[in-house]
Chains A and B, each alone.
Chain A
Amino acid sequence: MTEVKRQVKKRLKNLQSLPTLPAIVGKLTRMIGDENTTAPQIASLIEKDQVLTGKVLKMVNSAFYGFPRRISTVANAIVLLGFNVIRTLVITASIFETMQSSDLSLWEHSLGTAAAAGLLAQRLGLKNPEEVTTAGLLHDLGKVVIRTEFPELYKQIREKVVQEKRYFYEAEKEILGLDHGEIGRLLANQWNLPERLVEPIAYHHQPEKARKFKKETAIVHFADIMTRAEDYGSGGDPWVPPLSAWAWKKLKLTEEDLAELIPVFEERLLELRFFTLEMRHENERNRTATP
């Protein structure tokens, strides 16, 4: 194991908390202050942020609550934890000290992938599409870790991607010794997340490696590509990554499936664009408001 890789793994073990978008935390804090806010309203906002969703799932799956590796959706987590606990969790959320445009793009990319994964899971008749949506939302959590915990290396990776026209995960492997999928897997296991979430996070770039949740992983892989093809947000790569032939065979999507799915997905993206635009504006306002 290289020295850098050892460092990364060590840092993951001691990871305190990941920061998220100030605008989301701000909106949640306002909602919590409002007595009329309901649990489902809070849930639907938390589900729009990969870091907060990760935080909620980490908590509900921790050994203390007594359901390790069981819970994979925010809605289920809120029923189990209760409103007061969720409120406290939101109050303890940390935010990005300095926001970059790429942070917002990655956030949008995760939201888009979540929406696509949910639609695909529904279309393919999976038992619990909400779980696959969550997996889509969390799939690039490893990138957030690199960005916040190793800002210098992150810069190097980005430069390599731009200069050498490489894929992000290739540059990560060369510089860190492991890619964001592997980092996501380590983190998700450390947080006791269910395997049905861990596998799609770990293998969304090599879906054929999935062992138990093959279909879920293939869906997140394809959803990732669909979102990039629609040019919503950015995963950081200069091009759309290649579609895995294995995943394509596994999904057995027909022309008809796609013809019906894509317009629905585009409609969902339109709704999301309104929301993310609002968050982008809010971030701008916050930036100009603080000297």
Chain B
Amino acid sequence: MKTKETVLLLLEEGLQEKWRPLLEDSSFRFLFYRQPHQAAARILEAPPNLIVLQERLAPELVYELTKALKTNLNLSFLPIILILPPKNVTKDWKDWPADDFLKEDASGEEALSRIKLAFARAQRSADNNPLTGLPGNTTILKAIQEKINAEERAAIAYVDLDHFKPFNDRYGFARGDEILRMVARVLTNVILSRYGSKGFVGHVGGDDFVFICPLEEIEATCQEIIKDYEALLPNFIDPQDLEKGYFEGEDREGNPRRFPFPSLSIAVVSLTPGRFKHYGEVSAAAAQIKKIVKARSGNVYFVDWG
């Protein structure tokens, strides 16, 4: 049997009374909250599958929470429906990353129908990587092509992990996945805090990531990413290996070998007006730079200034 989707609703008493009978009829698991802080804590600790928030109850918190979920945690697939006062439904939706809204005077039937629609819509945008929640290849290529077309001076950075395969063999996939999620969080938070919605982070798959940022700040950005990665990595290595500074594994021929811990390599292609016409050219340039980066050990970046 399929597990029920959890829907969390933050609603005032009256609206709960009105909607509850219809909502409880369906195949979802509904969690009703009246206290904004309790609802927010529950959402952050164990996110449900869909969130309905009545803005009036805590305007600032509802806004902060929506932003945090959608932009910081890459829960863009987590639908958020706002409940607004009937006379005040105009918002700057560019700044409000909600998926839909309902009026406070909506019926329970309408609410249920909107919730189902939101789930259906979330199913359709399935480009996101299931492990990290980051946008996948289709979105990445689109983002690169948009930068080319806009003739912006941008840096397209290809990030991957060296020695990740032997690490996975030695520590198991679960730990490897933790490292990939960690890298995704570091990239997201560095890019978001520096550039907001002007930056971009995507997950090609496996240990391959892409980020985009303004060309002028690429070196400082790479340095910050590497610094954060270095600070976090020890949490994912067993103490005895950490003590030694390496782990033991087997190379491709099955011979025992000492491996350094997974390290970041960042190959950067600079996008200057007129240099490329098509995203395919960018990937080709990246492949060349990757060879240079891979020849160096440790956490490294290299910028091809064009």
Chain A residues with a Cβ under 8 A of chain B: 16-17, 39, 58-59, 62-67, 70-72, 75-76, 79-85, 87-89, 91-92, 94, 127-128, 194
Contact = CB atoms under 8 A, between A and B. Distances in A.
Contacts of A91: 37, 40, 60-61, 64
A242 B126 CA distance: 60
B186 interface: yes
A80 B178 contact: no
Given A66-B177, A67-B181, A88 B193 contact: no
B188 interface: yes
Given A81-B72, A127-B242, A88 B65 contact: yes
Interface stretch (B230-238, B263-271, B286-294): B230-238
B153 interface: no
Nearest to A69: B235
B67 A84 contact: yes
Interface in B124-178: 177-178
Kindly list the 7 A-B residue pairs having the minimum CB-CB distance in the complex, ordered from nearest: A82-B189, A82-B72, A84-B68, A66-B181, A84-B72, A92-B40, A88-B68
**Size class of the B contact interface (CB-based, 8 Å):** 35 or more
Given A16-B38, A84-B72, A89 B193 contact: no
A285 to B, nearest CB: 24
A62 B40 CA distance: 15
Nearest to B75: A64
B45 A76 contact: no
B181 A88 contact: no
B182 interface: yes
B44 A88 contact: yes
A76 B185 CA distance: 11
Contacts of B41: 16-17, 92
A96 B61 CA distance: 20
B73 interface: yes
B248 interface: no
Tell me if B's interface is mostly helix, strand, loop or mixed: helix
Given A39-B193, A62-B45, A88-B44, A76 B64 contact: no
Contacts of B236: 67, 70
A67 B235 contact: yes
Which of B47, B64, B71 has most A Cβ within 10 Å? B64
Contacts of B185: 65, 79-82
A82 B44 contact: no
Nearest to A33: B60
Interface in B56-79: 60-61, 64-65, 67-68, 71-73
Contacts of B295: none
A154 B134 CA distance: 48
Nearest to B64: A88
Contact of A85 (B61, B73, B239): B73
B112 interface: no
Which of B37, B45, B193 has most A Cβ within 10 Å? B45
A82 B75 CA distance: 13
A80 B71 contact: no
Contact of B189 (A58, A80, A89, A128): A80
25 contacts: A58-B45, A65-B181, A67-B178, A67-B182, A70-B178, A70-B236, A76-B235, A82-B185, A82-B188, A82-B189, A82-B192, A83-B72, A83-B189, A84-B64, A84-B67, A85-B73, A87-B64, A88-B61, A88-B65, A89-B44, A91-B40, A92-B44, A127-B242, A127-B243, A194-B235
